[in-house]
């Protein structure tokens, strides 16, 4: 799902000469200049947890743990976070809210989870519709509504996302297509067809859909009382969370992917 690429991008964004950044990975996928990277070596008992313990003796500013797989790693990562270190890691879950309950299920105390987390990002890879053979068509209203696009506003050529991207002042922002994409005509979307460029699949290349849950005080209180993931996610949506499907809807309107692809990848949100 592109987790390693996202972690590396985040590290590259914050990397400065005066920051001591340490990573423990399995494996190290590529070298990052100015960052100390350690690879897990199970034969000599160099686990994620062992690497983390060692790191804390080297006064790091930022720690990246390739994956939190067990209670020991989770507890040391949280300890590092609570003692003033920025910790980045990954965990296997279906969405952002489930990241909170997954840590609790591992055995981490809910108050420690609530105290240490700043944000959780869920992501999935989607296929991009082929630029050479994609076909513009008028979608059914039910399909639009299924992914969070207001069918009536869409047909009228208006801003149709039910959960739009907002600017720093909270105002809805227009959908923008990337430079390599032409936006669909008003009232239409693209669907996959298939040609020699995409080997008949209708798709070429991949990109991500993202869901970023910021830990507000309300979310923190829910985590402390061990609320389930559905309650946490509902509260986050009330606070403006854009789900994986919401981000997918944006990418459909921008001409990047198709309704079929977004419905397939985010099926459990239905």
* Contact status, residue 67 vs residue 90, Cβ threshold 8 Å: yes
Per-residue pLDDT at 269: 79
For residue 25, give the nearest of 47, 6, 43 by alpha carbon: 47
Count Cα neighbours of 125 within 13 Å in the Cβ-side half-sphere. Answer: 11
3-state helix, strand, coil in the chain (%, to 5): 40, 20, 45
Residue 83, both tokens: 């003692």
Per-residue pLDDT at 1: 77
CA angle 47, 49, 51 (to 5 degrees): 70
Profile the chain (270 residues) by mean pLDDT over runs of 10 residues: 92 96 94 94 90 91 95 96 96 96 98 98 98 98 97 95 93 94 95 98 98 98 97 97 98 98 90
Sorted by sequence, the CB contacts under 8 Å of residue 43 that are 6+ apart come out as none
Per-residue pLDDT at 268: 84
Residue 43, both tokens: 């034969």
Pick the CATH number of 3-123+216-238 from 3.40.50.300, 3.40.50.2300, 3.20.20.70, 3.30.70.520: 3.40.50.300
CA distances from 162 to 141, 142, 237, 249 (A): 14, 14, 12, 9
Per-residue pLDDT at 217: 98
Domain ranges of the chain: 3-123+216-238, 126-207+245-269
Q: Is 89 helix (H, G, I), strand (E, B) or coil?
A: strand
Question: How many residues in total does the chain contain?
Answer: 270
Residues 20, 174: Cα–Cα separation, whole Å: 39
Residue 61: CB atoms within 10 Å: 14
Residue 237, both tokens: 């949506």
Q: What phi and psi values does residue 15 have, to the nearest 5 degrees?
A: -65, 125
Residues 118, 98: Cα–Cα separation, whole Å: 15
Count Cα neighbours of 203 within 13 Å in the Cβ-side half-sphere. Answer: 14
| Single pTM value for the model | 0.92
Q: Is 66 helix (H, G, I), strand (E, B) or coil?
A: coil
Count Cα neighbours of 102 within 13 Å in the Cβ-side half-sphere. Answer: 17
Per-residue pLDDT at 42: 86
């Amino acid at each position: 799902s592109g987790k390693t690429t996202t972690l590396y991008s985040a590290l590259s964004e914050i990397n400065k000469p005066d920051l001591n950044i340490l990573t423990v990975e399995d494996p190290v996928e590529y070298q990052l200049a100015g960052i100390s990277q350690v690879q897990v070596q199970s034969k000599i008992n160099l686990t994620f947890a062992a690497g983390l313990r060692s790191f804390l003796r080297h006064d790091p500013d930022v720690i990246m743990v390739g994956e939190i797989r067990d209670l020991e790693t989770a507890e040391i990562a949280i300890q590092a976070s609570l003692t003033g270190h920025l910790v980045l890691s990954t965990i296997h879950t279906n969405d952002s809210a489930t990241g909170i309950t997954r840590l609790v299920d591992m055995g981490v105390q809910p108050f420690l989870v609530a105290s240490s987390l700043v944000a959780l990002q869920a992501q999935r890879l989607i296929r991009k519709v082929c630029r050479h053979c994609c076909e513009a068509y008028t979608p059914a209203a039910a399909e639009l509504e299924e992914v969070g696009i207001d069918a009536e506003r869409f047909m009228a050529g208006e801003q149709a996302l039910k959960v739009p991207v907002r600017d720093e002042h909270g105002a809805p922002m227009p959908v923008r297509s990337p430079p390599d994409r032409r936006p669909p005509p008003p009232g239409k979307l693209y669907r996959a067809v298939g040609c020699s460029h995409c080997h008949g699949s209708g798709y070429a290349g991949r990109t991500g859909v993202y869901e970023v849950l910021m830990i507000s005080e309300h979310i923190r209180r829910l985590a402390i009382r061990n609320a389930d993931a559905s309650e946490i996610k509902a509260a986050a949506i009330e606070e403006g969370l854009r789900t994986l499907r919401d981000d997918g809807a944006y990418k459909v309107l921008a001409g990047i992917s198709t309704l079929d692809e977004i419905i397939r990848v985010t099926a459990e949100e239905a």
